[in-house]
Amino acid sequence: MSFLIAATLLTPRLFWSFLSDIDPLNTQSFLEHHGIARNPFAEEDAQTDPVFKQHCIQNAYHPAWDKVYGDPTEPATAIIFGPKGSGKTAMRLQVDRHLVHFNAQNPDGRVYIIRYDDFNPFLDHFCERLGRRASRKPEKALDAWRLWDHMDAILCLGVTELVDQVLLESDTHRPKADNGNRIDTAKLSKLDRNDARDLLLLAASYDQSTSSTFSGRFEQLRKRLGYANWTSSLDFWFAIVWCVLVVGVFGWLFWASVDDEGVRTWNWLWFIPVLCFFGKLPYLIRWCRNQFAAMGIHRHMRVGKRETSSVRKVLMQFPAKELASQPLPRYDRTDDRYELLRKFQSLLGRLGFDGVIVLMDRVDEPHMTGGKPELMRRFVWPLLDNKLLKHPGLGFKLMLPEELYRDTERETREFHERARLDKQNVIPAFSWTGESLYDLTRSRMIACAAEGKHPDPKELFDDSLSYERMLTAFESLRVPRHLFRFLYRVLAEHCNQFTDAAPKYKIDASTFETSLAVYVREMERV
């Protein structure tokens, strides 16, 4: 009442000046009082969260961590289903970081890491191959997506990364940061001619780098591997020499064929193009074979960008006998892809990689799926094939939305016989208990703490809020993202109720409960 009376006696300018001096309690001041140097709840996405990347990635784990990570020396598949914000991306980043560390500690038995989490480039190329009409309807386009498309996309990522690493030492403009796939130069120099040929053929089919032209990058790789085969151009030079000889011989015969009247005969000149054609025939046959092979790669390797002429020119650098027995992605079938995968693994083995792990995440983000369960299912389902998921030396870590697990329960017997999810390491519910969320919160607070401080979540709240009630409330929020959003809101709500002049450094139970009720209602509406 006295405040209102004083306000009526003040001029408007003085009144607003008076109000401006009453600043709410600064959130940072509140946190610093508890020994916290930065707000641990300001970020929500692990992909861009510096607190997680710098600190929590090494010491804050989900209870299912051991089951997901497994043993890198024996790559195995794990399929994780979880809601948005449950920490799937954080888990993927943790697996990635630990594999990089494992490779640094085990240089002779490393694991090659393929990060399969950006699907838009592959889906865009795929739609281009299907045509304009199919690309307008995502469901029709994804109905045409097959297992070999997934395998091609994975090989594109793996081969492009491998070529990058091979060329790394010779390219001073490339970054030198180790992402776990760095190649030992000594092992690279021990590759034999067949290994070099296999890598060049894989690059011809799958290298998707945009750092230089396809032909220029291939030539750079060929020189780096020291691969040269003069026999591949024998038929070409034979055709040139043969044509020169034919023209020379028949030219001489024409010049010398003068009759008594001084007229030269033209009767034999038609032999020149015929004989030249037969001389060129071996080269033309090989050119046609490579042209058809290049056309097959262009047509059937649907997730990558390939120009027929460029691929043909590259294939012409290999002798016909060597190409005849080599698999290429020129047909719509998985058999060739498995052969190419085994060839890729064999190359990696020569370079010190005993296994391959594919990290798959963010399947709800591509513009073609749009986060719709039906579209995500059409995209993911072809990959769930037991033959691939149990392929020797290959392990998948699949981070999938929880909606897809409910769909698996409604699938046909044929699907389950092909996927054999009963044989896979499946986590059907990537859930958190109240205790695990409390520990996660504490880890983030310690990561943001001032030197020598070890804050605890319960220290932020008044004694009227019991520890058991906190655990129950945390568990009701289900996932870390919701918990961090809620805690950020509670801090802001509390600080808005007090000023720096008259602060209160404990959040009371009523503020906690009110903020929780409001946030839960908002969750239900989403």
Higher pLDDT, 175 or 165: 165
Integer distance in angstroms from the first to the last C-alpha of the chain?
A: 42
pTM for the predicted model, two decimal places: 0.85
Are 143 and 168 in a shared domain? yes
Are 412 and 438 in a shared domain? no
Write the single-letter amino acid at 211: S
Are 99 and 134 in a shared domain? yes
Q: Which of 514, 501, 495, 516 is nearest to 39 (CA)?
A: 495
What's the mean pLDDT in 308-325? 88
243 within domain boundaries: no
According to the model, what pLDDT value does residue 499 have? Answer: 87
Last residue of a domain, one of 367, 392, 427: 427
377 within domain boundaries: yes
16 within domain boundaries: no
40 within domain boundaries: yes
Sign (positive/negative) of CA torsion 337, 342, 346, 351?
Answer: positive
| pLDDT > 90? residue 99 | yes
Are 80 and 184 in a shared domain? yes
The C-alpha atoms of residue 132 and residue 136 are separated, in whole angstroms, by 6
pLDDT > 90 fraction of the chain, expressed in percent and rounded: 52
Last residue of a domain, one of 427, 448, 479: 427
322 within domain boundaries: no
Are 470 and 364 in a shared domain? no
| pLDDT > 90? residue 282 | no
Are 484 and 395 in a shared domain? no
Kindly report which listed range (48-62, 318-332, 341-355) carries the lowest average pLDDT score: 48-62
Q: What is the pLDDT of residues 65-74, one digit of tens each?
A: 889 999 999 9
Q: What is the pLDDT of residues 454-477, one digit of tens each?
A: 999 999 999 999 999 999 999 999
Instruction: Output the domain CATH number for residue 403.
Output: 3.40.50
| pLDDT > 90? residue 135 | no
- HEC readout, 97-144: HHHHHHHHHCCCCEEEEEEECCCHHHHHHHHHHHCHHHHHCHHHHHHC
CA distances in angstroms from 303 to 19, 122, 138, listed in the order given: 62, 5, 15
According to the model, what pLDDT value does residue 10 have? Answer: 40
According to the model, what pLDDT value does residue 262 have? Answer: 53
According to the model, what pLDDT value does residue 431 have? Answer: 83
Higher pLDDT, 2 or 457: 457
408 within domain boundaries: yes
According to the model, what pLDDT value does residue 142 have? Answer: 92
Are 76 and 179 in a shared domain? yes
**In the numeric block, which tokens belong to residue 213?**
């032209």
According to the model, what pLDDT value does residue 22 have? Answer: 47
Average pLDDT over the chain, rounded to an integer: 85
Last residue of a domain, one of 427, 448, 480: 427
Are 455 and 510 in a shared domain? yes
Higher pLDDT, 9 or 146: 146
Show the domain range for 456. 24-48+432-525
According to the model, what pLDDT value does residue 169 have? Answer: 58
